[in-house]
Amino acid sequence: LPAGNEFDRVFVVLVAARNPLNIGAAARAMSNLGFAHLRVVNPYSVAFREARSAVGAAALLREAQEYRSAAEAVADCTLVVGTTVAEHRELQHPLRRLEYGARIIRRQMKSNRIGLLFGSEKRGLSNEDLSHCHWLMRIPTREEHGSMNLGQAVAVCLYELARDSRVAVQPEKVIRATGAEVERISMLLLETLRASGYLNPRAVTAADKARRLVRRLDLTKRDADVWLGMLRKILWKLRAGDDSAN
């Protein structure tokens, strides 16, 4: 297995998991494969408490952190990847097969924090959850029976990250923008588009769209600062223009 500190940059995020056996199974697979950081978003609290008895993973579950939204759970991550079994669903995101996506994650986890999102057993990730993802990763299941058990999906994804680590991969040394920075840029862009008249202020899906658009830029930390500065100035000027027009 690779050095522990790389896997320590991977955060497994279970969104709205309902079955304590699945939360426990996810934790157990994490512990088996060397991943320590579990985050749970809005779990049924009973399920979460019961899960704490998972074989061999009690310590990991004790340290698990609880969040009220996917946004909060990935705020400190610079790469956020959603997992899905969907192939045909109309997705707004790049969809990568696990084999290929894992390679990208392995490269980035040498210096960046990665959030790996898993949706609920019934419905997977919601569109709002997905809007926090840079891209999606698909486990190559059969079309006729794509829906995987949550604990097994976690095990397979983490195995792919952990497998054959001796194969040399170039470390990526670029520091990426954090989730919080991407969010700030998205919100500033949204305000700017509203102030410019590009967006109808009542357009309800605009925030998700802006977020996805900015995520896809996959900004470095340095460029994120530049974009923040530019957008602030543009927005200020747009508003100043409106004031003087009134």
Site residues (CB under 8 A) for a copy of itself, limited to 148-177:
148-149, 151-152, 155-156, 159-160, 162-165, 167-170, 172, 174
Residue 23 lies near a copy of itself (rule: CB under 8 A): no
State yes or no: residue 10 binds a copy of itself (CB under 8 A).
no
Cβ proximity of 138 and 173 under 8 Å? no
Task: Answer yes or no whether residue 136 interacts with a copy of itself by CB under 8 A.
Answer: no
70, 15 Cβ separation under 8 angstroms = yes
Rounded Cα–Cα distance for residues 139 and 119 (Å): 14
Q: Among 8, 18, 21, 111, which residue interacts with a copy of itself (rule: CB under 8 A)?
A: 21
Q: Are 188 and 228 in contact (CB under 8 A)?
A: yes
d(CA 81, CA 133): 5
Shortest distance, position 162 Cβ to a copy of itself, whole Å: 6
- Which residues, 172 to 211, sit near a copy of itself by CB under 8 A? 172, 174, 189, 192-193, 195-198
- Selected from 146, 180, 225, 228, the binder of a copy of itself by CB under 8 A is 146
The answer to whether residues 12 and 154 touch, using CB atoms and an 8 Å cutoff, is yes
As a whole number of angstroms, the distance between CA 176 and CA 225 comes to 11
Min dist. Cβ of residue 106 to a copy of itself (A): 10
- Cα 34 from Cα 109, distance rounded (Å): 14
Q: Which positions from 47 through 86 interact with a copy of itself, judged by CB under 8 A?
A: 55-57
Please report whether residue 5 would count as binding a copy of itself according to CB under 8 A: no
Paired strand residues for 41: 15, 67
Task: Considering only residues 83 through 112, tell me which ones interact with a copy of itself, judged by CB under 8 A.
Answer: 94, 96-100, 102-103
